[in-house]
Chains A and B, each alone.
Chain A
Amino acid sequence: DADVTQTPRNRITKTGKRIMLECSQTKGHDRMYWYRQDPGLGLRLIYYSFDVKDINKGEISDGYSVSRQAQAKFSLSLESAIPNQTALYFCATSSGQRNQPQHFGDGTRLSIL
């Protein structure tokens, strides 16, 4: 079983809909991250959390919100989806120790029509 699991893997929805992407991890890590990747580009950080109920904005947080109610789960919401939020979304985790690598899920491909 994967250490970092994202659901759903694919989602197609319409403009204006509310969408939630889920991330769960079995690594016991304190830190969790949400990234967005557009075609041909690197990942950009949306939000991150260093502990339960700790929320921090990343580079591109506008139009998104997150929730961290448990150590193992970090959810990303689009309150009112718009077409330019069509992208690949990745969740990642890391331990709180210095200089530790991040571990990524396999991504959610989101299309907004």
Chain B
Amino acid sequence: DAKTTQPNSMESNEEEPVHLPCNHSTISGTDYIHWYRQLPSQGPEYVIHGLTSNVNNRMASLAIAEDRKSSTLILHRATLRDAAVYYCILNRNAGNMLTFGGGTRLMVKP
């Protein structure tokens, strides 16, 4: 299975941008890059996904490297509510099957 590598934890200040990196050097051509986040005491929540082009939605932006071996989730203005574990996951062949790694725990300081 294609794996992703993320830092264990990151810190940010409130109202500043946050860039969460993810490496996926064994990604295949049909794998989509998905991001989920898990707030304390809740189930994971879908954030964004992409294949090759950068993507934007109301929650975040996803920047994908040209060779697709890495990507970055961008929160444009972190709030305290954004403190969560963020998971970068490869959706194999767009088949909706997800394999979770350890994720990045984002801490947001007031």
Q: What residues of chain A have their CB less than 8 Å away from a CB belonging to chain B? A: 4, 31, 35, 40-45, 48, 59, 90, 92, 94, 98-107
Contacts and interface: CB of A to CB of B under 8 A. Distances in A.
B96 A100 contact: yes
Contacts of B95: 98
A106 B43 contact: yes
B94 A98 contact: yes
Nearest to B103: A42
- Classify the secondary structure of B's interface with A: loop
A99 B46 contact: no
B44 interface: yes
B34 interface: yes
Nearest to A50: B96
Interface string B34-54: 101000011111100100000
User: In which size bucket is the chain B interface?
Assistant: 20 to 34
Nearest to A35: B100
Contact of A99 (B49, B101, B103): B49
B98 interface: yes
A99 B102 contact: no
Contacts of A40: 102
Nearest to A40: B102
A32 B45 CA distance: 15
A41 B102 contact: yes
Interface string B78-110: 000000000100010011111111110000000
Contacts of B98: 43, 45, 102
B101 A42 contact: yes
B44 A43 contact: yes
A42 B8 CA distance: 12
Contacts of A41: 102
Contacts of B44: 43, 90, 92, 102, 104
A99 B42 contact: no
Contacts of B45: 104
Given A40-B102, A42-B87, A90-B44, 17 more contacts: A43-B98, A43-B100, A45-B98, A90-B43, A92-B44, A98-B94, A98-B96, A99-B94, A100-B96, A101-B36, A102-B96, A104-B42, A104-B43, A104-B44, A106-B41, A106-B43, A107-B42
